[in-house]
Amino acid sequence: MSIMNFDRIMIRYGEMALKGKNRRAFEQKLQSNIAIKLRKYPNTTIKKTQGRMFVLLNGEKPHEVMKECQEVFGIHSLSFAVMVEKEEEQMKEAVMLAFHDARNARTFKISSKRTDKTFPIPSQELNPLLGGHILRQTEDVKVDVHNPDVEIKVEVRHEGCYVTAQDYPGAGGLPVGTTGKSLLMLSGGIDSPVAGYLTMKRGVEIEAIHFHSPPYTSERAKQKVIDLAQALSKFGSRVKIHVIPFTAIQQKIHREMPEGYSMTIMRRMMMRISEQVAARNELLSITTGESLGQVASQTMESMNTINEVTNYPIIRPLVSMDKIEIIDISRKIGTYDISIRPFEDCCTVFVPKAPKTKPTRKNANYYESNSDFTRDIEKALEESYIVEVSPDRQSGQQDDEFDDLL
């Protein structure tokens, strides 16, 4: 029985059309994002060498660290690896370890490379030597040089012999923080967290904005949004949530606007406030979970009418997706179970029985011109506050505990 274990994880991020300065920024950000993610594994260290990174485990549990790394955007694939002495028995033990990492592999291939020419065994001889060892130690396993279940890479270098196991998929995308910042309109639904995730995947750092309407919406409804933001923070490092008290504006819309337009006008108010928050925090775009055709309010007319009030770029990553694809992603990223908790959302509380599915800009402007919302918007902004979450803050905490993070 072997006591050998992997001592590092190899991280591949590919060339990615990155040149010069961009590449440096990409690598630095990736390294610091991995470091933040691995804070709870304090013995790990990160080493960068020509187009690759290694996480040295220094005794931390390999699979736990692997799981964390797989959530970091900007990584194409990862493998466990181990460095052993340039000595036959250790090398055999290392290839066995690598083979067993691919649990169901029935075929394998060993690819050896000998950089250290003082090592006496040339690579053509090393492949059958190490491969033969695996064949003797296993049953029903074959070598397949063309299409193996697992390719085990052996590299004999000056400082030692590296053995690398199967590839694990990385999260892809770009390191969060390399392509700017966006304000995510985060409701308690299924869609907006997924929209946030997909935006982060493209390297965007997000802050969130949430409109809530106490006492129509409860503290637990707000907590749900905090938990969603926390789930998203796993893919960045922390997320600030701008919580906007929205009751007064909704009541005024309810009182003063025609019922058929209340939904559209409410969304326009949300958008106006979002733009202000974005501008004040140097966020250059707004991200929403809007889709097309999911519900009666999600029409091209509605999008057009709501969009009139801002000229900020609106990122709508879900616009090309089916609901089933969105749900799949929400399950994968761990937001689904939070999203389906049965708490009310401010939109559903005030939702009219028959919202206009084809609103126009002209009508919306006309109705809004009968009331002045300027002061209400200012007041909502004044009364807004920030909740900040990070992955190591447990979900379900009370608000006053979050306050000390501000």
Please give the C-alpha separations between residue 144 and each of 62, 123, 164, in angstroms, as whole numbers.
28, 17, 17
In this chain, which of 8, 37, 153, 210 binds ligand ATP, going by CB under 6 A? 210
User: Between the CA atoms of 56, 57, 63 and 69, what dihedral angle is there, to the nearest 10 degrees?
Assistant: -50
Q: Give residues 156-185 in contact with ligand ATP (rule: CB under 6 A).
A: 185
- Round to whole Å and give the CA distance between 248 and 168: 51
Q: How far is the CB of 168 from ligand ATP (least distance, A)?
A: 31
Task: With CB under 6 A as the rule, give the number of residues binding ligand ATP.
Answer: 19
- By beta-carbon proximity to ligand ATP, the closer residue of 107 and 299 is 299
Any binding-site annotation on 186?
Answer: yes
The yes or no reply on residue 294 touching ligand ATP (CB under 6 A) is yes
Beta-strand runs (E) in 43-137:
45-49, 52-56, 75-84, 107-114
In this chain, which of 55, 82, 134, 186 binds ligand ATP, going by CB under 6 A? 186
- Residue 185's binding partner out of Mg ion, ligand ATP, none, with CB under 5 to 8 Å set by partner kind: ligand ATP
The yes or no reply on residue 193 touching Mg ion (CB under 5 A) is no
Task: With CB under 5 A as the rule, give the number of residues binding Mg ion.
Answer: 2
Please give the C-alpha separations between residue 322 and each of 292, 317, 341, in angstroms, as whole numbers.
9, 12, 22
- By beta-carbon proximity to ligand ATP, the closer residue of 192 and 247 is 192
The yes or no reply on residue 187 touching Mg ion (CB under 5 A) is yes
Can you say whether the dihedral through the CA atoms of 186, 187, 191, 197 is positive or negative? Answer: positive
Beta strands at 52-56 and 8-12: parallel, antiparallel or unpaired: antiparallel
- Round to whole Å and give the CA distance between 365 and 210: 24
The yes or no reply on residue 62 touching Mg ion (CB under 5 A) is no
Of 75-83, 181-189, 232-240, 242-250, the segment contacting Mg ion by CB under 5 A is 181-189
- By beta-carbon proximity to ligand ATP, the closer residue of 153 and 272 is 272
Binding residues, by number, are: 185-186, 210-211, 267, 289, 298
Interface residues toward Mg ion, by CB under 5 A: 187, 189
